[in-house]
A and B are shown apart, each in its own frame.
Chain A
Amino acid sequence: MVNTLPDRARVRSRAALLRAGFEQAGAAVVEAPVLVSAEALLDLYGEDLRARAYTTFDALRGEQMLRPDFTVPVVQMHMEGGAEPARYTYAGEVFRRQEEDEARTNEYLQVGFEIFDGSDPEAADAEVFARLQHAVAPLGLKATTGDIGILMAAVDGLNTTEARKRALRRHLWRPARFKQLLDRFAGRTPQPATRTALLEQADPFAEAGPEIGLRSRAEVEARLEALRADAAADPVPEAEVELIEAILKVRETLPYALERLRDIAVDLAPISGAVERLARRSQALSARGVNVEALEFEATYGRTHMEYYDGFVFGFVVERRPDLPAVASGGRYDALTRELGRAVGKPQGIPAVGGILRPGLMVELEDGLWA
């Protein structure tokens, strides 16, 4: 297989061509270091990132990572002093550790296009999608879109405690855990037996050992208090849980999906704003020449693997080869700009959307390698 892969020079020149296309769309070329601080990335993505990124180390700077993507360094750079609005493009290698499948490449070129502009977010979503679709048009790929913002709005709108909403938001990207929590908050599954027993004890600290470690007795007491409050809270109404489940099931072409979500919004008003954003995005996509009548929308799309996206998400895949990664993908990451902006005194962030192309895969597909 290795011998039949296109040589790097061809892939590199394709990457340069794609980047030049984004430059013509007004994007400034940016570079990012190959080695990035591991701490910032791990704090964002969590420890799981170690399974997907290469970590290295020196005695002065501590842990460094071979960049697993450009988004984080580009956002950091922008938040530290980029003018607004801004649009950027880049081309370079990213590195992904592979522990499960040796056939998957651990180093490949990405070409990206990112827009930092709050004036018309839906128009920016549509522009990124349309430009990437244009770039991959000859390959006959299947596009899927989604919108994490709708599920987030539904969680925010639940009639329940702030602590429960926070727990659900925190596990939005872990569907199994999210469902487990939702079922418990709705009273569909009982409290864990250990928890019930604990709350019934007259003195929960009867068997506790001495106070050791950084987590103090006061913190343990605070969580016991939170558990008591949770046990006393009313269950999330069954009707609301069913509406969340109805949202998760939406999987249609965009116009039908929009109709379905508007129906759901009649009973779950807090998602109306997010649904109307989807409607405006649909119009903006049409205006950019995208055939929305045939465009797939899945409410759960991007929920398991695109952790920092919090609105529009999309991907272009080879339909007959589900084993291949997406050739192009992207989405909106407003919350990431707030998160990274906090460190440099800009906690308000800026609405931002972007996407990447994989020129190596594009050339391989043109060569008929994956036919």
Chain B
Amino acid sequence: MGLKLGVPSKGRLMEKTFDWFGARGVTLGRAGSDREYAGRVEGIEGVELVLLSAGEIPRELNAGRIHLGVTGTDLVREKLGQWDQRVEELAELGFGHADLIIAVPQLWVDVETLDDLDEAAAAFRRTHGIRLRIATKYHRLVRDYLRSHGVADYQLVDSQGATEGTIKNETAEAVADITSTGETLRANHLKILSDALVLKSQATLFRSRRAELTEAERATLAELLERLDLD
């Protein structure tokens, strides 16, 4: 066995994570070919690299099947209830920045704030007989946010991709999505509400509060955290 570290299994997020650990003297890499999802770790004994989809890392941390994991704050908060009792944020890694925002058509010149959105939703429901639809894949985060800001008469519709297109397709009236530059939003004639930043997210190293540690694993964790300047 050993101390299990979960890292996104592909793309920029994986490479940046490898770079971040590498800069601190811990070399992470794939074991064999590019297609193989087994990892190797050099520079420290007793750490096992587990390559996973970023979306599954919160669940694995929560189940205690990995001790450490790198994933976005957005995914942890969306997927884990009482997330801060289940995982600990050890370090923000400084990449993978993304804001979860709410956007509406630029045509809606009367809607700039959440207040406006709430009032527009009430009028929309009176006119169309349905609650105003907001397309998102971040159901929990968006719902909690809208409830705490007193927005009513909306519904969340699930959208796992191409969310910005849902408005033109008339399957939603507004979107709640991750954006880094806002370019896609503008290209789709959408604008961001001025006071609706649901969450600022970035790649973060988490520790599972639920994973059990043997004496040896505990020592490895202490050594790793020291190496990463997180002790």
Which residues on A are within 8 Å of B, measured CB to CB? 42-43, 46-48, 50-51, 99-100, 102, 167, 170-171, 174, 176-177, 180, 192, 194-195, 198, 204-205, 207-215, 217, 219-220, 222-224, 226-227
Interface residue from A102, A214, A224 paired with B110 (Cβ < 8 Å): A224
Compute the total of residue contacts between A and B using a CB distance below 8 Å: 110
Q: How far is the CA of A171 from the CA of B170 in the complex (A)?
A: 28
Interface residue from B110, B149, B156 paired with A220 (Cβ < 8 Å): B110
Given A219-B124, A222-B123, A213 contacting B110 (CB threshold 8 A) = no
Given A47-B131, A47-B154, A170-B152, A209 contacting B106 (CB threshold 8 A) = yes
Stretch at the interface among B26-34, B49-57, B62-70, B140-148: B140-148
Given A99-B81, A198-B110, A217-B107, A170 contacting B194 (CB threshold 8 A) = no
CB under 8 Å from chain A, chain B span 134-175: 139-140, 143-144, 146-147, 149-150, 152-156, 167-168, 170, 172-173
B123–A208 CB distance below 8 A: no
Give every chain B residue within 8 A of A204 (Cβ-Cβ): 109-110
Q: Smallest distance from the beta carbon of B170 to chain A beta carbons, Å?
A: 5
Task: Name the CB-closest residue of A to B82.
Answer: A100
B72 lies within 8 A of chain A by Cβ:
no
B16 lies within 8 A of chain A by Cβ:
no
Give every chain A residue within 8 A of B115 (Cβ-Cβ): 192
Beyond the given A167-B122, A215-B107, please list 12 additional residue pairs across the A-B interface where CB-CB is below 8 A.
Answer: A46-B152, A46-B153, A46-B154, A47-B131, A47-B154, A198-B109, A198-B110, A212-B105, A213-B105, A215-B120, A215-B132, A219-B124
Task: Name the CB-closest residue of A to B81.
Answer: A99
Give every chain B residue within 8 A of A211 (Cβ-Cβ): 107
B109–A205 CB distance below 8 A: yes
Give every chain A residue within 8 A of B191 (Cβ-Cβ): 209
Q: List 12 A-B contacts (CB under 8 A).
A: A99-B140, A170-B122, A171-B152, A177-B150, A180-B150, A192-B113, A198-B112, A209-B105, A212-B107, A213-B172, A215-B124, A217-B107
B143–A48 CB distance below 8 A: yes
Given A47-B154, A47-B155, A215 contacting B173 (CB threshold 8 A) = yes
Q: Is the interface of A mostly helix, strand, loop or mixed?
A: helix
A212–B168 CB distance below 8 A: yes
Task: Name the CB-closest residue of B to A219.
Answer: B127
B81–A100 CB distance below 8 A: yes
Q: Is the interface of B mostly helix, strand, loop or mixed?
A: mixed
Nearest 7 Cβ contacts at the A-B interface: A177-B150, A209-B106, A209-B189, A194-B112, A99-B81, A213-B167, A223-B110
Given A100-B82, A174-B150, A223-B123, A214 contacting B143 (CB threshold 8 A) = no
Q: How far is the CA of A51 from the CA of B148 in the complex (A)?
A: 13
Task: Name the CB-closest residue of A to B149.
Answer: A177
B42 lies within 8 A of chain A by Cβ:
no
Give every chain A residue within 8 A of B170 (Cβ-Cβ): 213-214
A209–B150 CB distance below 8 A: no
Q: Smallest distance from the beta carbon of A313 to chain B beta carbons, Å?
A: 20
Q: Smallest distance from the beta carbon of B87 to chain A beta carbons, Å?
A: 16
Task: Name the CB-closest residue of B to A227.
Answer: B110
Give every chain B residue within 8 A of A198 (Cβ-Cβ): 109-110, 112
Give every chain B residue within 8 A of A195 (Cβ-Cβ): 112, 116
Give every chain B residue within 8 A of A167 (Cβ-Cβ): 119, 122
Q: How far is the CA of A99 from the CA of B82 in the complex (A)?
A: 7
Q: How far is the CA of A328 from the CA of B128 in the complex (A)?
A: 38
Given A100-B82, A192-B115, A194-B113, A215 contacting B108 (CB threshold 8 A) = yes
Interface residue from B109, B132, B143, B155 paired with A51 (Cβ < 8 Å): B143
Interface residue from B107, B143, B172, B190 paired with A208 (Cβ < 8 Å): B107
Interface core residue of B82, B107, B156, B190 (most chain A CB under 10 Å): B107
Q: How far is the CA of A129 from the CA of B130 in the complex (A)?
A: 36
Interface core residue of B110, B147, B190 (most chain A CB under 10 Å): B110
Q: How far is the CA of A133 from the CA of B152 in the complex (A)?
A: 35
Q: How far is the CA of A258 from the CA of B138 in the complex (A)?
A: 47
Give every chain B residue within 8 A of A177 (Cβ-Cβ): 118, 149-150
Q: Smallest distance from the beta carbon of B178 to chain A beta carbons, Å?
A: 20
Task: Name the CB-closest residue of B to A42.
Answer: B155
B139–A50 CB distance below 8 A: yes
A207–B109 CB distance below 8 A: yes
Q: Smallest distance from the beta carbon of A206 to chain B beta carbons, Å?
A: 8
